A and B are shown apart, each in its own frame.
Chain A
């Protein structure tokens, strides 16, 4: 690890630290302050844009999970939205039918989704590559179908209403209060994901991703770590689902389609696989593009003849972005971010 000039790690605690220098602490505190005061900032803090930020932050939690599963461990999942749906429905059913508090239903949802992930991860013990993708694709369809077809529990195709979470006297049902719940979750998830990626477990995942046979020879238990990747990745999805249920207050299976799963993969590609910063950047980049399309759609439909909507133009742009990123910047936005950091560290020298 290259350190900035004049910085020495003189003890283990310092060597392990995520935040190393005074400048980093300052930036970190400023960023935290920014996150906590975001609803107060005019413009950004409006109901509309804060709602967008909420959705993006929930996706951050989900994509961080996908990053562990796909980016770190190399097990491509095309059913991540279905796992998120499972988390959302579990939390919603516990809250609406059994009147659990959110603080109990959300951890149970995480646990259940992790278990479902474990079950659908079992094929990964025998299969890899394309065959595994097919089994996760099957998971996507089977889970969403099952959710729609037990109407007694899930309200069927119309979906269900989710009672808001309570924290003491505060009801978390506004955009603002949801923002704080989601933001704190996203920060926590980022912290956990970052620590997983630099732990022994994360390195085992990366070894499996790069060459599973070599990893096994080195003494990494493939069975254990692959299932672990599925469990942890889906736990994040369940977490995102529980947050989604509380944020949107009404859930239906249309919110968790195959297209959503593909968007998650796209966000991962655009951000850069295997990097926590990349996952966050990717989510915000893609969400920003979609918002841009939503805002511009009314103007575009006056100029362009065809049907202009988030469905058509949004998908065209999403497809183009993925193809262009894969061809011209396969390491994603994270690579740009690293270049920027290196530039700052070395300035005024070139290298």
Chain B
């Protein structure tokens, strides 16, 4: 019984991290209407950069993270300025393909610089188990999940209560009208990419400290697509609901179905859930119901 509780809680906690990574996708989609397939690679890059600051420059953990966040903000701005800006107003196919181009480019660069073996972060959070309802849960995971939730709430507050966030929401509503009433639309685009890239880095570091640093991390970027699908493309609170649901589905599904099919089913459960969501409720739990019926 305590097994099931442990897996349930772990699933929810890991799901919170999925939610944080999915937040990056929502940030970009909400403002620029671009679905960023390269999110996983942005995550990977930010995480490797953090690791390099620690490993090669011997900076303390907190300083490395701050520098990596600055780097990833710049990365996001550069991507937006040089790849996405020229494509404004193009077809969906072009937008998707340009993010695929970025995906390949970033992945190539990461492989070039850090293509060696798996690495580990120095221990920053305590790793001993904490007993929750009699089930041992890694303290590290709990801390990481709490940080993730706090970050999502902060981002939501930024969108909801600050002037910059208001500009981004206005841009999301209608870029043309926003521009005509004096909102800096291109600035909002840059900001959303910078924010998203920073969020990805944070998510990557939180995951990386728990699981070690390898190229498998970018697969978690892929897993955030189902989360966004379930939560709704435009909904920031949606990721906090959808992330834990997806984590729960994955962990419980893996627990019960793995013996039947011979392992690894956790990898595709999110995608199966995504297919079901697509067929039943394509706009997700909290998305705008503006989907065009065919």
Contact = CB atoms under 8 A, between A and B. Distances in A.
Interface of A: 70, 74, 76, 123-131, 133-135, 137-138, 141-142, 145, 148-149, 151, 212, 222, 226, 258-259, 262, 265-266, 269, 273, 306-309, 311-323, 326-327, 330
Contacts of B275: 123, 135, 138, 142
Given A123-B279, A127-B294, A131-B282, A306 B108 contact: no
B268 A142 contact: yes
Contact of A134 (B109, B229, B294): B229
B213 to A, nearest CB: 15
Contacts of A148: 264
B124 interface: no
Contacts of B106: 319
Interface of B: 35, 83, 86-87, 90, 92-94, 96-98, 100-109, 111-113, 115-116, 222, 225, 229, 233, 261-265, 267-268, 271-272, 274-275, 278-279, 282, 291-294
A83 B106 CA distance: 26
A259 B279 CA distance: 26
B186 to A, nearest CB: 17
A138 B271 contact: yes
Contact of B101 (A212, A313, A319, A330): A319
B96 A76 contact: yes
Contacts of A70: 93
A319 B282 contact: no
21 contacts: A70-B93, A123-B275, A123-B279, A124-B294, A126-B282, A131-B282, A137-B225, A138-B274, A141-B268, A145-B264, A145-B267, A226-B294, A258-B222, A266-B104, A273-B93, A312-B112, A312-B115, A316-B108, A318-B101, A319-B103, A319-B104
B97 A322 contact: yes
A311 B108 CA distance: 7
Contacts of A145: 264-265, 267-268
B231 to A, nearest CB: 13
A133 B15 CA distance: 23
Contacts of A312: 108-109, 111-112, 115
A307 B116 contact: yes
B116 to A, nearest CB: 7
Contact of A323 (B93, B98, B261, B265): B98
B111 A127 contact: no
- Of all A-B residue pairs in the complex, the 5 with the closest CB atoms, nearest first, are A319-B105, A315-B108, A316-B108, A319-B104, A322-B101
A265 B272 CA distance: 23
Contacts of A123: 275, 278-279
A262 B278 contact: no
A326 B97 contact: yes
Contacts of A307: 111-113, 115-116
B278 A135 contact: yes
A306 B101 CA distance: 21
B91 to A, nearest CB: 9
B108 A319 contact: yes
A128 B282 CA distance: 10
B262 to A, nearest CB: 6
A63 B262 CA distance: 34
Given A76-B92, A138-B271, A126 B294 contact: yes
Contacts of A319: 101-108
A133 B274 CA distance: 12
A142 to B, nearest CB: 6
Given A131-B278, A309-B115, A315 B104 contact: yes
A273 B94 CA distance: 10
A123 B276 CA distance: 10
A330 B278 contact: no
Contact of A126 (B104, B229, B233, B279): B279
Contact of B264 (A127, A149, A269): A149
Contact of B97 (A134, A258, A265, A316): A265
A262 B291 contact: no
A254 to B, nearest CB: 14
Given A126-B294, A313-B108, A320 B278 contact: no
A150 to B, nearest CB: 9
Contact of A130 (B35, B264, B272): B35
B105 A315 contact: yes
Contact of A318 (B104, B261, B272): B104
A141 B108 CA distance: 22
A309 B107 CA distance: 12
B219 to A, nearest CB: 10
Contact of A74 (B93, B111, B267): B93
A212 B294 contact: yes
A123 B229 CA distance: 15
A265 B97 CA distance: 8
B257 to A, nearest CB: 11
Given A76-B92, A131-B278, A315 B102 contact: no
Contacts of B96: 76, 130, 133
A226 B98 CA distance: 25
A262 B274 contact: no
B102 A323 contact: yes
A330 B272 CA distance: 34
Contact of A222 (B97, B272, B294): B294
A190 B13 CA distance: 52
Given A141-B267, A309-B115, A319-B108, 4 more contacts: A126-B279, A142-B271, A306-B115, A307-B116
Given A131-B282, A141-B268, A266-B100, A316 B105 contact: yes
A264 B28 CA distance: 26
Contact of B86 (A130, A133, A141, A327): A327
